A = this chain, B = another copy of it.
C-alpha cells in the first residue's frame, strides 16, 4: 500500500511538450504518481505513448478519455485514479474537465481554461455542483519569489500600487513553422480560441499581475498584430491597463520577439517600494525603496516570508527553475487532497474565468481598432 495519490493524464502523447512537464511536476514531491492516461486522440498512439514515454502498463493506456474515466471510476477503492491532468489543446479543456468532474475526479487543467468566457463560466457552474477540487496550472505563480512578491504587496510594503508592467516575450513563432505540432494548434482559432499569443502566454502574464497585485482591471486598450502571413491568430500584442485603484499598467505578449526564449518579467511600482522579477533570474526578487539601498531577496535566503519559504525545496543558491515552480502547483493541490497541512492557495476556476475575460476584452479592444473597453 502506497500513500501517494494516483493520477491520470489526458493529452501529453508523443511530440507534446507539456505532458512530460506535468508528469515531472506532479510527481516531484513524492505525493502523486501517474497510473494511467489517454495520451492521444488516436487510440493506438495513446497506448504507444503511455508505454514508451511514461512507462505505463498498456492496460492503463486508454484509447479515449471517456473510456479512462469510466474504467478508473470502476476501480476498487484506493486503486483507481484520484485526479486527472488535462494537457490537451485549449478547445478540449472544458469538455474533458466536465466529464472528469462528473465522473468524480479532481482536475488539474492546463491554461488557458477554455475556448472562451462562456465555456469557462459553464465549467464553473458544473464545478460548483461537485465537491471536487480544480486547479489551473498558471505555473509561474509557483516560484518562491512570486509568492514573496504577493506577500510584500499584501503586507503593504509597496503602499498603494501605481504602475505594473508584465512582459512575456518569446521568439519561437518568428517564422512560419509548417506543420510543427506545438505551433499548429496554437495558431488555429478552433483549437486555441480567439487569441494566439494572448491566449497562450498573455493569460500567464495577466494571471501573474492578478496574483501578485490583486488589483482589479477597470479598462484596457489592446493592439494585436499578426506578423506571419497566413497565420490566423495574433502573434504579438500590447495592452494598456487601467486599474480600479487608479494604477496604470502594461501587458506585452509576443511570440515573434526573435531570439527571446521565454522571457517573463514583472515590475510593480508602489508609492513606498517597488518590485522587479524576471524568470531568467527566478530565484531573485529585487525590492527598491525610496530611501535605502535596493534589496535582493533570494529563494531560500534570509528575510523571506513563510509562503516563499515553503514554496522552495532547496537551500539558497541551489537554483530552482521552471519545473520546481510548476511542481509547486501540484504540491499544494496534493496536500489539499490529502488533507495535509501547509497547502497554499493556487490558481483555480476564478483565475481561469478572469483569464478568459481578459482574452475576450483584449480581442474586443483590438477588433475595435484599439479602443478602450471596460473590464466587464
Contacts and interface: CB of A to CB of B under 8 A. Distances in A.
A261 B298 contact: yes
Given A54-B30, A223-B240, A274 B289 contact: no
A302 interface: yes
Contact of A267 (B223, B237, B257): B257
Contacts of A170: 317
Contacts of A274: 171, 257-260
A55 interface: yes
A256 to B, nearest CB: 6
A34 B248 CA distance: 44
Interface string A232-276: 000011101010001010101010111111110001011111100
Complex copy number for this chain: 4
Nearest to A222: B240
Contact of A271 (B29, B258, B260, B298): B258
A221 B240 CA distance: 10
Contacts of A293: 287, 295-298, 301-304
Contacts of A324: 321, 323
Contacts of A342: none
A4 B55 contact: yes
A258 B281 CA distance: 21
Interface in A92-151: none
Interface string A293-316: 111111011111000000001111
A57 interface: yes
A277 B62 CA distance: 45
